[in-house]
Amino acid sequence: MGRVIAPFGVKGWFKVDPFSASPGGLTSFSSWWIEGEQGWSEFEVAETAVHGVILVAHLNGCDDRDAAARFRGRQIAVPRAALPVTGENEAYQVDLIGLEVRNLDNQALGSVVGFFDSGAHDVMRVAGSTGERLLPFVPTVVKVVDQDSGYIVVDWGVDW
């Protein structure tokens, strides 16, 4: 759902780079799971605030800059059951990982291994026998997403 960027101020707050379309997407959750060296741990969220394209957050028990700094670079998640149900023609990116990617000529390009935000749009990482491809995840490229059948159809050449 996001990644901790850096401390924010001196009272235990930190900046979050949210992975959702809206920076405030994490504000509705009362607790977050945060990745640590020993695995994932649940933390109670004391306060959050949206600051432009980032979110700032304060966790219960995280009371100074040094405590906030220990979260730098850590991934933030919420339980799957806490997420809203997706609508028609919507999907969580995590649900697309592993799907086969084919082009309009039914040529296999590989499988989805991840996504990242380029600033302009999301980019789908597709790994196959010829290496990794980066495809814009936009309607002009992504033509069909069929999770039930396990594939995505894209308008993309096999030699691009």
pLDDT in tens, 8-67: 999 999 999 888 767 778 888 999 999 998 999 999 999 999 988 789 999 999 999 999
Q: pTM of the prediction?
A: 0.69
Residues 98 and 138 in one domain: yes
Total domains in the fold of the chain: 2
Residues 74 and 132 in one domain: no
Is it the case that residue 71 has pLDDT exceeding 90? Answer: yes
Residues 143 and 105 in one domain: yes
CATH number, domain with residue 62:
2.40.30.60
Q: How many Å apart are CA 110 and CA 14, to the nearest integer?
A: 37
Residues 72 and 41 in one domain: yes
List the domain range (segments joined by +) for residue 127: 93-154
Residues 19 and 59 in one domain: yes
Residues 54 and 98 in one domain: no
